[in-house]
Chain A
């Protein structure tokens, strides 16, 4: 079945450091890929998405590229801020538009001032 594997956390960075959170997936068909963010005490929010191979999703300085050849969707940001401290979830949904979404384990990011 479908699955998502992402790097374990926590990840601790200093402000303005470069961020990479690795995510790989296993899926049949052509899934859509997502990154969700959960800030402390809040619900999940969609950060970015990509619906087909080679698509790049981007939002708030974060980027991720849908790499079918490596089945990856790594999250990157060039310069993190303290306000980026949160838990980041990589996820995929089936390609049939059914919205059934499978999540990775989540990676907690701490950014120090």
Chain B
């Protein structure tokens, strides 16, 4: 089946540094990927929609300069948390949309990346 992989699965960084998280679709091409943030024991909050070859679409309240998204190829989207602070500590999850003939498709989720900012 389709697989979406995130890397790193966990990262610890110092406050003020930037962290990049990669999301790859391993066996299909994904023109659209999504980035979510999940706080402990809470639901997934959609941060942005990442479209290959164009700018990401951010949800209301998400700082686009803080959370930089790049979708340079059909199998890779990256989320960079710039100048990270402790309040950015969270579980970040990506998903990739696989479409088939007729536009019907399915979302596949990565394993998530846990960011801890000290």
Contact = CB atoms under 8 A, between A and B. Distances in A.
A36 B34 CA distance: 16
Contact-size category for A: 10 to 19
B59 to A, nearest CB: 9
A106 interface: yes
A100 B110 contact: no
A44 B93 contact: yes
B97 interface: yes
A97 interface: yes
A99 B111 contact: no
A100 B34 CA distance: 8
B46 interface: yes
A92 B12 CA distance: 33
Contacts of B99: 97
B109 A44 contact: yes
A99 B97 CA distance: 7
A59 interface: no
Contacts of B108: 46
A11 to B, nearest CB: 14
Nearest to B49: A100
B103 interface: yes
B49 A43 contact: no
B93 A99 contact: no
29 contacts: A36-B109, A42-B111, A43-B109, A43-B110, A44-B44, A46-B107, A46-B108, A89-B43, A93-B107, A97-B103, A97-B104, A97-B105, A99-B32, A99-B34, A99-B97, A99-B107, A100-B49, A101-B34, A101-B46, A101-B95, A101-B107, A103-B36, A103-B43, A103-B44, A104-B43, A105-B42, A106-B41, A106-B42, A108-B41
Interface of A: 36, 42-46, 89, 93, 97-106, 108
